[in-house]
Structure 1
Amino acid sequence: MSLSPRDFAGCLLEVGAVRLQPMDPFTWASGLKSPIYCDNRQLMGFPEVRDQIVASLVVASRALKPTLIAGAATAGVPWAAMVADRLQLPLAYVRPTPKNHGMGRQVEGPMAKGHRAVLIEDLISTGMSSLKCADALRAEGAEVPAVLALFSYGLPQAEEAFAAARIEMAVLSSFEVLSAEAEARGILDIAGSDALRAWRSDTVAWSHAHGGA
Structure 2
Amino acid sequence: MNTAQSVAKYLLDINAVTLSPNDPFTWASGLKSPIYCDNRLTISYPAVRKAIYTGMTDLIKEHFGDAEVIAGTATAGIPHAAWVAEEMNLPMIYVRSKPKDHGQGKQTEGVLKPGQKVVVIDDLLSTGGSVLKAVHAVQKAGAKVIGVVAVFSYQLPEADKNFGDEQIDFYTVTNYSTLIDVAKDNGDVDEKDLSSLQEWRKDPENWK
Per the alignment, residue 146 of structure 1 pairs with 147
Other-structure match for 2:98: 97
Give the structure 2 partner of residue 58 of structure 1.
57
Which moved further from structure 2: 89-98 or 197-206? 197-206
Structure 2 equivalent of residue 10 of structure 1: 9
Give me the whole-angstrom Cα distance separating, in 1, the residues matched to 2:149 and 2:52: 12
Q: For the residues of structure 2 that align with 1:70 and 1:190, how far apart are their CA atoms?
A: 40
What corresponds to 1:197 in structure 2?
198
Q: How does 1:41-190 map to 2 (within 5 A)?
A: 41-63=40-62, 64-65=64-65, 66-190=67-191
Residues paired across the two proteins, number: 206
Pick which of 57-66 and 39-48 moved more: 57-66
Which one-letter code corresponds to 2:57 in the other structure? V
Is the contact between residue 108 and residue 137 of structure 2 (CA under 8 Å) also seen in structure 1? yes
Moved over 4 A (4+): none
Q: CA deviation at 1:125?
A: 0.5
Select between 165-174 and 29-38 the one with higher mean Cα deviation.
Answer: 29-38
Secondary structure, aligned partner of 1:99: coil
Change over 3 Å in CA distance of 1:139–1:99 after alignment to 2: same
Shift in Å, 1:28: 1.6
> How far apart are 1:61 and its partner, in Å?
2.0
CA displacement at 1:112 relative to structure 2? 4.1
For 1:177, what is the secondary structure of its paired residue? helix
The answer to whether the 8 Å contact 1:19/1:37 transfers is yes
Any conservation in 2 of the 1:112–1:137 contact (CA below 8 Å)? no
CA distance in 1, matches of 2:50, 2:202: 34
Aligned to 1:30: 29
Deviation readout 1:133-187 (Å, 9 max, x if unpaired): 1111111221112110000000000011111111111000121111111111111
Q: Is the 8 A contact 2:3 2:51 kept in 1?
A: no
Task: Kindly state the Cα deviation for residue 31 of structure 1 after the two structures are TM-superposed.
Answer: 2.6
* Identity among equivalent pairs (%): 43
In structure 1, give the amino acid aligned to 2:4.
P
Q: What TM-score do the two structures reach when normalised by structure 2?
A: 0.94
Which amino acid is 1:76 matched to? G
Tell me, yes or no, if the aligned pair for 1:84 and 1:90 is still in contact at 8 Å: yes
Normalised by the size of structure 1, how large is the TM-score?
A: 0.92
**Contact 2:17–2:37 (CA under 8 A) maintained in structure 1:** yes
Q: Secondary structure at the match of 1:147?
A: strand
